[in-house]
């Protein structure tokens, strides 16, 4: 369709034909486009670029991620940072002696956030270059400053440096959200540190643990992620003012071969943009290893939350724990009684997506040629924002779940009681041997009775292993009361309760004491549908 023309689909039997000029029900002057597309009329969709519901929208923005993270990666933020970078460059160049007038910089400042995206799009359609399109659009708004915009710079001066700023802000928000999830899980772990529950290995009942101890496993994974985020923030640097291939040759020309001034220019711009240091060497771009490391960090968060989310889905299946469920929430459109673990399921789905993006960073870093190749651009436009939006959405959900978990204590007690006779068999074996029984014979008696009871339980019967052993002649020397005393679940949880207390007081509290002052309170983020 030609530039500026509108169009619509007119549905004929089994045929979709696109026409120029729009639709006028009183007109017969519609001109059919050549080669009409033959499709079933069911799939004919009216075409109008002005109707947003007729264009794909990223669910990360419309359903899942917070407005706060979405704002960091918005066009306004991105291009506003470009303009601030151009101002910082012009200011620094003037401070170091270039002929740039204060009025020119003031003219830029006056319109720094007044971005005419339509004019920029107009220029980009002609120039096929997004950075130069915005140079021209801003030059029209600030004509006196037009000659000094982007002076000496290459495109990566604004694109790479702005993305590093966005990455820094995003990591800070991720850190803040991690602190909130960890806090909520720590509170849950402390509350339920003494509540025995079945442990599982191979997804089969195993030695008991406690609800609180299990929560520390989820918590510690996220603590490792928090430490990695802090490391990424502490080592993240600025690209700075490096020129077209990283040699700063153009700036050396601008400053008549004065190396000291070029070095000072790099430092000044770096400091003005909020960084304490720049990467010591770059090509045209900063090393794409940095992106790969950041994506690996976000993938780690996805891994931790997927594991915790999967555990919660299993426990909700067993009715031992429940995630928040709103008063009017519907679990199933057909089965009205259902209470599905929607939040934990969504975490798992989003986590798989975020984990998958890690490979993009690795492949992009590996595929860069010499000082730079542009095949990184389209991939990074997708990968970096979506990885952060996905991780943000995951942590919003995780905070909501962790702060609202509901424990079903009676169900947990019943499940533990059903399995405790099996758990007690080793202790019963020791009691029988201490009473004079043959250890090997006792072992065989317990084995035979246990298998028979397990078969009975699998058919819906009760676990009567204690009664069977108490009545067996092999255990005649052990009072039934002594056998029954070994069924107390708390006697089988080892140091689980103590481990929770030690983890919280000796490890987690000092870490949170360090992290909380750095972590701002994130804006309230609603769990999307």
Burial class (CB within 10 angstroms; exposed 0-12, middle 13-18, buried 19+) of 187: middle
Query: How many angstroms separate the most distant Cα atoms in the chain?
Result: 106
Q: CA-CA distance, 170 to 156, in Å (whole number)?
A: 20
Question: Is-contact 164 239, C-beta < 8 A?
Answer: yes
What is the Cα–Cα distance from 35 to 333, expressed in whole angstroms? 43
Spatial CB neighbours of 357, under 8 Å, sequence gap ≥ 6: 295, 298, 299, 383, 386, 387, 390
**Cβ atoms < 10 Å from Cβ of 470:** 18
> Is the dihedral angle over the CA atoms 450, 455, 458, 462 positive or is it negative?
negative
Interatomic CA distance for residues 83 and 183, integer angstroms: 39
Cα angle 494, 499, 505; round to 5: 160
Residue among 281, 273, 288 at smallest CA distance from 166: 273
Tokens of 219: 């918590």
Q: What is the per-residue pLDDT for 330?
A: 67
In angstroms, how far is CA 71 from the centroid of its own chain?
A: 16
d(CA 296, CA 287): 15
Q: What is the DSSP string of 480-493?
A: HHHHHHTT-GGGGS
**What CA–CA distance (Å, rounded) separates 230 from 250?**
36
- CB-count burial class (<10 Å; 0-12, 13-18, 19+) for 329: exposed
For residue 286, the tally of other CB atoms under 10 A from its CB is 24
Mode of pairing for the β-strands spanning 196-201 and 15-20: unpaired
Q: What CA–CA distance (Å, rounded) separates 306 from 344?
A: 8
**Any idea what the Cα angle at residue 349 is, between residues 225 and 316, rounded to 5°?**
90
**Known catalytic residues?**
202, 332
Below-50 pLDDT ranges, the chain: 1-40, 43, 45
Q: Is beta strand 321-322 parallel, antiparallel or unpaired with respect to 15-20?
A: unpaired
Give a three-class secondary structure readout of 134-177.
HHHHHHHHCHHHHHHCCCCCCHHHHHHHHHHHHHHHHHHHHHHH
Separation CA 217–CA 224 (nearest Å): 11
How many CB atoms neighbour CB 23 within 10 A? 14
491/466 Cα distance (integer angstroms): 17
């Amino acid at each position: 369709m030609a530039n500026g023309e509108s169009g619509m689909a007119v549905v004929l039997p089994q045929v979709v034909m696109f026409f120029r000029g729009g639709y006028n029900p009183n007109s017969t002057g519609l001109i059919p486009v050549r080669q009409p597309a033959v499709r079933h009329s069911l799939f004919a969709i009216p075409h109008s670029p002005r109707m947003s519901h007729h264009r794909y929208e990223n669910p990360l923005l419309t359903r899942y991620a917070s407005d706060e993270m979405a704002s960091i990666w918005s066009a306004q933020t991105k291009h506003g940072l470009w303009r601030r970078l151009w101002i910082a460059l012009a200011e620094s160049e003037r401070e170091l002696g270039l002929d740039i007038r204060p009025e020119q910089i003031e003219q830029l400042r006056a319109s720094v956030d007044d971005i005419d995206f339509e004019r920029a799009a107009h220029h980009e359609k002609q120039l096929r270059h997004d950075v130069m399109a915005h140079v021209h659009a801003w030059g029209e708004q600030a004509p006196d400053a037009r000659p000094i915009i982007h002076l000496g710079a290459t495109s990566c001066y604004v694109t790479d440096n702005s993305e590093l700023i966005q990455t820094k802000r995003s990591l800070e928000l991720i850190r803040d959200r991690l602190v909130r999830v960890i806090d909520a899980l720590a509170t849950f772990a402390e509350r339920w540190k003494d509540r025995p529950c079945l442990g599982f290995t191979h997804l089969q009942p195993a030695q008991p643990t406690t609800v609180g101890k299990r929560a520390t496993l989820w918590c510690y994974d996220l603590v490792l992620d928090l430490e990695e985020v802090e490391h990424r923030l502490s080592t993240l640097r600025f690209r700075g003012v490096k020129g077209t291939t990283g040699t700063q040759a153009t700036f050396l020309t601008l400053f008549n071969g004065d190396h000291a001034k070029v070095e000072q220019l790099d430092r000044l711009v770096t400091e003005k943009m909020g960084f304490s240091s720049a990467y010591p060497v770059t090509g045209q771009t900063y090393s794409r290893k940095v992106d790969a490391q950041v994506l690996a960090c976000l993938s780690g968060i996805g891994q931790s939350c997927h594991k915790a989310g999967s555990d919660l889905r299993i426990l909700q299946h067993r009715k031992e724990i429940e995630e928040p469920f709103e008063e009017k929430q519907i679990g199933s459109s057909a089965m009205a009684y259902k209470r599905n673990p929607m939040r934990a399921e969504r975490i798992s789905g989003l986590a798989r997506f975020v984990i998958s993006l890690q490979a993009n960073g690795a492949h992009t870093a590996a595929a860069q040629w010499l000082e730079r190749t542009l095949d990184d651009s389209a991939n990074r436009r997708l990968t970096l924002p979506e990885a952060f939006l996905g991780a943000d959405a995951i942590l919003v959900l995780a905070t909501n779940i962790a702060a609202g978990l509901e424990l079903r204590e009676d169900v947990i007690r019943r499940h533990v009681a059903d399995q405790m006779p099996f758990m007690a068999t080793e202790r019963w074996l020791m009691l029988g041997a201490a009473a004079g029984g043959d250890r090997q014979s006792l072992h065989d008696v317990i084995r035979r009775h246990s298998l028979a009871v397990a078969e009975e339980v699998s058919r819906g019967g009760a676990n009567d292993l204690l009664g069977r052993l108490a009545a067996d002649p092999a255990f005649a020397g052990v009072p039934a009361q002594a056998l029954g005393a070994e069924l107390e679940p708390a006697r089988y949880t080892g140091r689980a309760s103590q481990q929770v207390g030690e983890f919280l007081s000796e490890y987690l509290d000092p870490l949170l004491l360090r992290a909380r002052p750095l972590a701002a309170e994130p804006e309230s983020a609603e769990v999307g549908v």
